[in-house]
Structure 1
Amino acid sequence: MTFPDKDDVLRHGATEPPFSSPLNHERRSGQFRCAGCGQPLFESGAKFDSGCGWPSFAAPLEQSVATRPDSSHGMIRTEVLCRSCGGHLGHVFDDGPAPTGQRYCINGLALHFIPEE
């Protein structure tokens, strides 16, 4: 079995296996950035454990991501992309916590974590 790498995820829309990212367990304060271009995407305070198998966030940083409809895999979803480089990050769903009600389900391979100093 072949696992996708960062390029497969960011440039070809692949999905890493659930529960495979060490970022699922990242609890330090800091910032999650695009692994492709370094664009700041999410603050650690927006991260929560959704149990879905991928790092999850309630909201991105302002103007950091773009979205578009995704009808692959026989369903309609909303794809999340890095606004800077266009890299595929994951998908957003309307089943997240208050106050946003959103769950940004993001591939760990698409992220680079910078701990707060």
Structure 2
Amino acid sequence: MEKIRKTEDEWRAILKPEEFQVLRQAGTERPFTGEYTDTKTEGVYHCRACGAELFRSQAKFESHCGWPSFYEPGESDAVILREDVSLGMRRVEVLCARCESHLGHVFHGEGYATPTDDRYCINSVSLRLEET
């Protein structure tokens, strides 16, 4: 996969302010407000910044956490995982592997009845759904 590199000014020019704040500044949208939180539409979720395929609807599940949740990415190399110790917590940040935009966080071992017991908690504003 070819990496996409842009300056922050270039990203700011192509993203809406709320997209830029989450994707490029590692922000978080308010829970239960995102367009994909409760959607059950079949399709492929792409990075809103660069268009890379990230998640498939078959891996989406209801976690009732306020953000779209997936138990695995579409391909193992679609995302990058990075330690995040911001806000006084130890978490694992999820980034798009192609453009390194912030998507959300992944949590493991919470007891969800999924094949991986992972919860990729992803901001809707970081995604664009292509219906199938």
TM-score range, shorter chain: over 0.9
Gaps of 5+ in 1: none
Paired-residue identity, %: 47
**The one of 97, 114, 117 aligned to 2:130:** 114
**The one of 100, 104, 122 aligned to 1:86:** 100
8 Å contact from structure 1 (residues 11, 88) kept in 2: yes
Q: How does 1:10-89 map to 2 (within 5 A)?
A: 10-62=23-75, 63-89=77-103
Q: Structure 2 CA distance, aligned partners of 1:26 and 1:87?
A: 23
- Structure 1 length as normaliser, TM-score? 0.93
Q: CA deviation at 1:25?
A: 2.0
Tell me the residue number matched to 2:5.
none
8 Å contact from structure 1 (residues 46, 59) kept in 2: yes
- Structure 2 length as normaliser, TM-score? 0.83
User: How many residues are aligned here?
Assistant: 113
1:15-45 C-alpha deviation (Å, 9 max, x unpaired): 0000001211211110000000000000000
Q: CA deviation at 1:76?
A: 0.3
Q: Structure 2 CA distance, aligned partners of 1:97 and 1:89?
A: 23
Gaps of 5+ in 2: 1-16
Moved over 6 A (4+): none
- CA RMSD for the aligned pairs? 1.0
Q: Structure 2 CA distance, aligned partners of 1:97 and 1:85?
A: 31
